[in-house]
Amino acid sequence: MNPVTGFLRRMSESKTALFGFGVLLFFAIMAVSVQFLPIPNPNSLNFQAFLPPSLAHPFGTDYLGRDVFSIVLWGSRAALAVGIISAGISAVIGIVVGAVAAYYGGWVDDVISRVVDVFLMIPVFFLILIVVAIFGGNIFYTMAIIGVTIWPSNARLMRAQILSLKEMTFVKALRSYGVGGFSILFRHLLPNGVAPVITNTMLQMGAAVLIEAGLSFLGLGDPRVVDWGRTIYLGEPYVALAWWISTIPGAFLALLVLGLNLLGDGLNQVFRPRMRGSK
Amino acid sequence: MKVENLKVSYRLRNRDLTAVNGVSFSVERAQAVGLVGESGSGKTTVALAVLRLLPANGNVSEGRVTFDDMELITIPEEELARIRWEGISMVPQNSMSSLSPAHRVGKVFRDVLRAHFSGSEEEVDARISRAVELANFPKKALEFYPHQMSGGMRQRALIALSMLCQPKLVIADEPTTALDVIVQKQIMDEMKDLRRRVEASLMIITHDIGIVSEYCDIMVVMYAGMVFEYGPTEEVIHDPRSPYTKLLLKSHPLLFDTAKQIVEIPGDPPELERIPVGCPFVPRCPYAQSICKEAEPPLAHISGNHFARCHFV
Amino acid sequence: MSEPARYGISPVAESESFTSELLAVKELKKYYPVRRGVVDLLRRSRKVQVKAIDGVSFTVNEGKIYGLVGESGSGKTTTGYTIMGLETPTSGSIIFQDKQLSVKELKPGNLSLKVRMIFQNPYETFDPRKTLWQTFSEILQVAGLGSRADRRQMSLDALSRAGLRPAESYIDRFPSELSGGQLQRAAIATALVVEPVLLIADEPVSMLDASIRAGVMNLLLNLNRQKKMAILLITHDLSVAWYLCDYLIVMYLGRIAEKGPAEQVLRNPRHPYTAALISASPMVDKTRWNFVAMGEVGSNIDLPKGCRFHPRCPFATDICREQEPTAEVAGDGWSFWCHHPLSVQKLKN
């Protein structure tokens, strides 16, 4: 069967992957279209504070009189940006480092593997806390620091894939044609082995969104950005009085992370169809 | 053992694919029967169905398997558990993954025997010694772990294991495929010798006609889930009647055959999803007529115990 | 180590050389180091090596089919890989079309316009994510052959010469859309597209279903007969070798046991190992070929002293346990390495 159509068909058969993909699509559309929607500016303080959900303010207003519905919608941008950029940085570093280590082997592999081990020992969240505490809550720093601390798991996955793929006959065949090592690694081995990294990247997007939300919840977020974590943090003292301020952004955060996790799990099944029968 | 009109299908993506389509043959006492076929011919599925070891999506839709007057397809699981090992035992294909890598082989022998036999420690030892001796497996190697043994040695261990409970029938699935040719011959010779001594029946499942022709009394040729030829090995080899068997025998060169001519069979064996209507061999058969595309040929009686599937035997 | 002179080119091999010699393999050795742990280093234990090939010399003439036969561990596949440049030899040299290639020059791509290889497992020979056309296009691009426009036609021609007709219906398929037999033909086509003078075929039919082997074997035979393409066939199956080969090179544990014209070697082997291989083949006359070698192939790490085959040989005597046999000539282009060569009489009883 054609690999592309095969992938699409298995994808269409996996409810988990489809649901996760649906959630991600929902948030992506939200993030792209939010500026065209007839909703108030999320930073305008023009409304009365602590208004409960109503037709005018579907998710109510917060303690400064900002529209929570608007905050939630605009907040999807920050959440997705954090997820995509952090996980993207992690994927790129992980793929290149893991692939190079596995393909070239020997001392290259030894050195890289030890570096990966060192990174795996670092408690990521606390490292990020320190960096943010020093450099201040800039969302770009946050994205970058998340990205450069979570790549080791991708590197390990990629390394394992390439290690088994490079023993396959087609690599010998390509070498016998005279195709160079660089080309074999990046044009043939990578596309064949990248599936688990993509799966892991989805899970890491979820993790990155949570880490950033966690930072904001601790008050270390970027104050210039409309952000779910910050909203939850700022609404927390008023939970008893106005439950909607923290709860609704929290629910959206949970939904996005759930969707990303399901997409990751679903893709895992789609990429490894053999595992399905054994359940 | 007698297999009658066995039909097995696998459920895949809401479709039933027939892997074995009406297979009948019998294994008499102390007889060696060889089931030969290419990939997808259904030979392994037959063995799995007989032992009721089909995967979850496999299902015997029709047919009977009788062993010593017991109906294997329907008897309850507890009785079946007794028949396995004691009545019918199996020599599996891949010798590395068939033995627990964390245990010495001797321990595996003891555990298997303990599960089926309640004798004194001496009797257990005696039985193990006999099985090991039958399979030409050195007794001191019982202390080894699987990875410490060569491929031939592991296969001998599996053969000894299958002889532990003194079964009446041993089913060997590609017993020597992974081995070097010389060791392959050693082991097949040993199995032949062993069979004579214990008078057990043997069913060999293989893709290798060479093995069947040298070590089996009866030969069953399978193609696309059906028996295409069935009969005494000598007779089938020297006077094959179904075109498939005929061509298959001519398609492989023989050492010292001076003609040095082999026959090409066009095309590929059919996939389970696309078995042709009528005779499944029709797209590849040089003798095909119009009837072959319409009607499934019967398994025609040739002589004695020799049957072949073709409209024009 | 043995003196190189012993395993140097025999007088026979030299007499072959004034016919059209294509390839000469000389004293080829390939040792793999065994990774040692800290304990071994501390103990200063001997450096352990796997001797995959240990001094192999033979020649390949233009337009002939050579069979490299032997069991696992014989080094037959490693020999093929080394010629192709997929493995770097530890020592030795290869002379190809009168050009001597040193150890350093034996790298993939150096001979890839003249020598091509097909592999045992056709299902893994192609990148599963590329169509046949993408693979062919890359091959031709790397080889620097044809213009962009020519390449498709060249690929179609190669596929159809390999028996995949009409080639248009195969070229844009993914490997998973082809059967094993079709894939092996496509693999042969990847070689044909550069018109090599030597094809190394590593067990080309052993993974194929019985009913499709004949087609692939005949394809190889036709390419040899029509295109005068020399073939180095690596196989464990003597009946395949009987059918295809002009010459045989029988290897055991990294060394040649016997080499010579296929028909003569098979009908009247001088080395007990060749006889053992013949005896293990199906449907041979059991009254003549009743020669069963004992035990299994030994280890390439702890090689037996003396003749490597002696632990399995029923004729082994003290000299076999002590001294490695030297080359002896049995006929024109036929030599063997054994202290107690078989005669016809010895085989019969």
The pLDDT of residue C48 is 78
Whether the predicted pLDDT of B65 surpasses 70: yes
pLDDT tens string C89-145: 999 989 999 888 887 777 777 787 899 999 999 999 999 999 999 999 999 999 999
- Which residues in chain A are contacts of B55 at CB distance < 8 A? 277
* C72 is a domain residue: yes
Q: Which residues of C touch A (CB under 8 A)?
A: 81, 84-86, 108-109, 112, 116-117, 119-121, 124-130, 138-139, 142-143, 173-174, 176-177, 187, 190
pLDDT: which is higher, C4 or C61 = C61
Q: Which domain holds residue C169?
A: 129-195
Rounded Cα distance between B234 and B241, Å, is: 13
C110 and C206 both lie in a single domain: yes
| Dihedral angle over CA of B202, B207, B210, B212, nearest 10 | 20
pLDDT at C347: 56
Residues in chain C with CB shorter than 8 Å from the CB of B183 are 296-297
In a domain? residue C160: yes
**Which residues in chain A have Cβ-Cβ distances shorter than 8 Å to B56?**
277
In whole angstroms, give the CA distance from residue C290 to residue C276: 8
Which CATH number is C215's domain given?
Answer: 3.40.50.300
Tell which of C195, C227, C248 closes a domain. C195
Say if C122 falls within a structural domain: no
Task: Give me the pLDDT at residue C8, please.
Answer: 35
Residue of C28, C29, C27, C23 whose CA lies nearest to C9: C27
Helix (H) or strand (E) holding C214: helix C210-227
> Beta strand pairing status for C255-261 and C328-331?
unpaired
- Residue C108 sits in the same domain as residue C238: yes
Same structural domain, C217 and C313: yes
Q: pLDDT at position C6, please?
A: 35
DSSP string, B23-84: EEEE--TT-EEEEE--TTSSHHHHHHHHTT---TTEEEEEEEEEETTEETTTS-HHHHHHHH
Distance from CA of B180 to the nearest CA of C (A): 6
User: C79 in a domain, yes or no?
Assistant: yes
- Specify whether C263 is located in the same domain as C340: yes
Q: Could you read off the pLDDT of A200-216 as tens digits, one per residue? A: 999 999 999 999 998 88
| Out of A89-93, A156-160, B100-104, least confident range | B100-104
For residues C176 and C208, state if they share a domain.
Answer: no
Looking at per-residue confidence, does B247 or B98 come out higher?
Answer: B247
Whether C188 and C236 map to the same domain: the answer is: no
Q: Encode pLDDT of B263-280 as tens digits.
A: 999 988 998 888 898 999
Shared-domain flag, residues C176 and C258 = no
Could you tell me how many residues make up chain C? 349
Residue B94: per-residue pLDDT: 67
- By CA distance, what is B223's nearest residue in C? C211
Q: Do B256 and C211 touch (CB under 8 A)?
A: no
Q: Of C116, C280, A52, which is closest to residue B186 (Cα–Cα)?
A: C280
* Same domain assignment for residues C228 and C278: yes
For residues A6 and A274, the answer to whether their CB atoms sit within 8 Å is: no
DSSP 3-state percent helix, strand, coil across chain C (nearest 5): 35, 20, 40
How many domains does chain C fold into? 2
Count H helices, E strands: chain B? 10, 12
Tokens 């034996």 belong to which residue?
C106
In the predicted model, what is the mean pLDDT of residues C231-260?
Answer: 96
Distance CA B205, CA B49 (A): 13
Q: Identify the pLDDT of residue C344.
A: 60
Check whether residue C85 and residue C173 sit in a common domain.
Answer: no
Q: Is C124 part of any domain?
A: no
pLDDT tens-digit readout, B143-159: 999 888 888 889 999 99
Tell me the range of B81-95, C43-57, C323-337 where mean pLDDT is highest. C323-337
The residue of chain B with its CA nearest to that of C180 is B268
Residue B91 has pLDDT above 60, yes or no: yes
pLDDT at A126: 85
CA distance C239 to chain A (A): 25
Report the C-alpha gap between B288 and C113 in whole angstroms: 44
Q: Which residues of A touch B15 (CB under 8 A)?
A: none
pTM: 0.88
Clarify whether residues C107 and C256 are in a common domain. yes
Instruction: Please check whether residues C73 and C63 belong to one and the same domain.
Output: yes
Q: What is the pLDDT of residues C184-229, one digit of tens each?
A: 999 999 999 999 999 999 999 999 998 899 999 999 999 999 989 9
Distance from the Cα of A175 to chain C's closest Cα (Å) equals 6
What percent of chain A stands above pLDDT 70?
Answer: 97
Contact A61, A44 (CB under 8 A): no
CB C303 within 8 A of CB C52: no
Full DSSP string of B208-242: -HHHHHHH-SEEEEEETTEEEEEEEHHHHHHS--S
Strands C230-235 and C247-252: unpaired
Model confidence over A43-68: pLDDT tens digits?
Answer: 888 788 888 888 888 898 888 888 88
- Checking if the pLDDT of B101 tops 80, the result is yes
Q: What is the pLDDT of residue C262?
A: 95
In chain B, list all ranges with CATH 3.40.50.300. Answer: 2-87+167-309
Mutant choice from C127, C132, C133 vs A, greatest count of A C-beta within 10 A: C127
Helix (H) or strand (E) holding A16: helix A15-33
Number of CB atoms found within 10 A of residue B55's CB? 11
Q: What percent of chain A has pLDDT over 90?
A: 51
State the fold for domain B2-87+167-309: Rossmann fold (3.40.50)
Contact with chain B for residue C52, Cβ under 8 A: no
Q: Which of C150, C178, C195 is the last residue of a domain?
A: C195
pLDDT tens per residue across span B190-215? 999 998 888 899 999 999 998 999 99
The burial of C159, by beta-carbon neighbours within 10 Å (0-12 exposed, 13-18 middle, 19 or more buried), is given as buried
Fill in the DSSP letter of residue B272.
G
The whole-number pLDDT of residue A166 equals 92
- Residue C44: what pLDDT? 64
Domain-terminating residue out of C171, C195, C219: C195
Mean pLDDT of B73-93: 86
Residues of B in contact with A277 (CB under 8 A): 55-57
pLDDT grade, residue C5 (50/70/90)?
A: very low
Per mean pLDDT, which of B108-122, B129-143, C11-25 is the most reliable?
Answer: B129-143
Q: Are C246 and C284 in a shared domain?
A: yes
Residue A277 has pLDDT above 80, yes or no: no
